[in-house]
């Protein structure tokens, strides 16, 4: 499994355009897979990592938040009336949603010729960026509305926090890194019993 870290820098320090951020993430994953391929072993099978298969996570170790595509697929599957497994596939790669025709496309152009945003950008990066941006700009009305729609509840002294301190609390509640890591470990890494079969051979 792979964790693409330091998304906080991509949003807050650089900051990268969401599409540029996607391209950077894709290159990072491709580079990792090239390295992994050099250690290919028949007993291991295909151990390359793919976001749409849940073996790649994204997040910020410093701020304690992270996610896999599965997290957002859960959120959007019912909205689009599709199975979660199908929604996951739509959230990575060259998949573009046309809100006017309500159709998915493989190219970034709507039926009326208007430009479309990549699904990963439109449905994942944009909402995260807007939430972070409103918190850092102290636009309370805006971020409170977003938090309510996302089911994020801050309590007690947390309500008095500002900027990065509030951002850390909100993002940990919205996208706890522990959930993303646990999902990857439980679902995709072999149990100790199964793992011994190929480890013994290699030893």
Cβ 153 vs Cβ 134: under 8 Å: no
Look over the chain and give the mean of its residue pLDDT values, rounded to a whole number: 91
**Cα distance between residue 112 and residue 191, in whole Å:** 51
**Cα distance between residue 201 and residue 203, in whole Å:** 5
The CATH number given to 2-202 is: 3.90.1430.10
Mean per-residue pLDDT, 25-51: 89
Closest CA to 2 of 34, 22, 28: 28
Alpha-helix runs per DSSP H in the chain: 7-12, 18-37, 69-80, 84-90, 119-120, 126-136, 140-150, 163-174, 177-188, 192-202
The pLDDT assigned to 102 comes to 92
Predicted model pTM: 0.89
* pLDDT at residue 195 is higher than 70: no
pLDDT digits (tens, 9 = 90+) for 88-122: 999 999 999 999 999 999 999 999 999 999 999 99
The pLDDT assigned to 199 comes to 61
The pLDDT assigned to 189 comes to 72
**Residue 70, Ramachandran bin (φ over 0: left; ψ between -120 and 50: alpha; else beta):** alpha
Top-confidence residue, 187 or 132: 132
**DSSP-assigned beta bridge partners for residue 96:** 105, 118
**Cα distance between residue 94 and residue 122, in whole Å:** 12
CB atoms within 10 A of CB 191: 8
**Cα distance between residue 19 and residue 185, in whole Å:** 28
Paired sense of beta strands 96-98 and 103-105, if any: antiparallel
* pLDDT at residue 147 is higher than 90: yes
Mean per-residue pLDDT, 15-44: 91
């Amino acid at each position: 499994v792979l964790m693409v870290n330091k998304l906080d820098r991509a949003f807050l320090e650089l900051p990268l355009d969401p599409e540029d951020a996607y391209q950077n993430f894709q290159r990072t994953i491709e580079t990792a897979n090239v390295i992994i391929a050099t250690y290919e072993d028949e007993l291991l099978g295909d151990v390359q990592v793919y976001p749409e298969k849940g073996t790649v996570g994204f997040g910020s170790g410093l701020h304690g938040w992270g996610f896999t595509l599965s997290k957002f697929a859960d959120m959007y599957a019912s909205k689009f009336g599709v199975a979660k497994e199908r929604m996951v596939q739509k959230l990575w790669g060259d998949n573009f949603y046309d809100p006017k025709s309500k159709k998915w496309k493989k190219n970034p152009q709507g039926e009326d010729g208007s430009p479309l945003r990549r699904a990963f950008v439109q449905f994942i990066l944009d909402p995260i960026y807007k939430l972070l941006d409103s918190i850092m700009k102290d636009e309370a009305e805006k971020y409170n509305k977003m938090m309510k729609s996302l089911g994020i509840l801050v309590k007690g002294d947390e309500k008095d926090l500002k900027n990065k301190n509030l951002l850390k609390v909100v993002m940990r509640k919205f996208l706890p890194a522990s959930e993303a890591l646990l999902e990857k470990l439980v679902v995709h890494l072999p149990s100790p019993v199964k793992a011994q079969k190929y480890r013994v051979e290699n030893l």
